[in-house]
Amino acid sequence: MAYSITVERDFVRAELVGRETVEETKEFLRAVARLSPTHLSFLIRIAASKSMFRLEQPGLIESFREVACSPSHKVALLADTMDLRVSHEYLELIARQHALNVRSFRSAEEALEWLRQAPPLDVDPQRKKTKDQRPREHVQRRRHAARH
């Protein structure tokens, strides 16, 4: 296994080559996570490595959480083979279930475009909650009125 981590102008580029085990992945992610306090966008490319479909391995999602430690953090994944790409798509699904901002991409151009997008203006969870609750309350009142 070998990896490189480079700080670019507006993102961190990290590449892992020849990964064989989950432990190697976690070691790599710990190294990338050291930059999370000072950087928000990460482009992670994995090449010439075994695919991983058992993402529930102890500590793997937690390792991604160290990199994508806030809703503002973005992690874009790239793979060099179809098997790895499918593995990354599965990882994206699991990451979303854990409220992590991780996405899999087919090309570096698409990944960089996503990384460079500004976060949505409505990132205040309390405001979103209030906005989402209003229609439900209205529907509940209407149902209540229809019963009488």
Examine the pLDDT at 28 and tell me if it is beyond 80: yes
Q: Nearest 10 degrees: CA dihedral of 87, 33, 103, 51?
A: -10
Using CA of residue 95, residue 99, residue 100, residue 104, what is the dihedral sign? positive
Using CA of residue 21, residue 23, residue 28, residue 29, what is the dihedral sign? positive
pLDDT tens digit sequence for 64-107: 889 998 889 999 999 888 888 888 888 888 888 889 999 999 99
Measure the CA–CA gap between 60 and 55, rounded to whole angstroms: 6
- Residue 42 tokens read as 């990460």
When the pLDDT of each residue in the chain is averaged and rounded to a whole number, the result is 79
Residue type, 98: H
Q: What is the pLDDT of residue 32?
A: 96
Q: What is the pLDDT of residue 16?
A: 92
pTM above 0.85?
no
Examine the pLDDT at 6 and tell me if it is beyond 80: yes
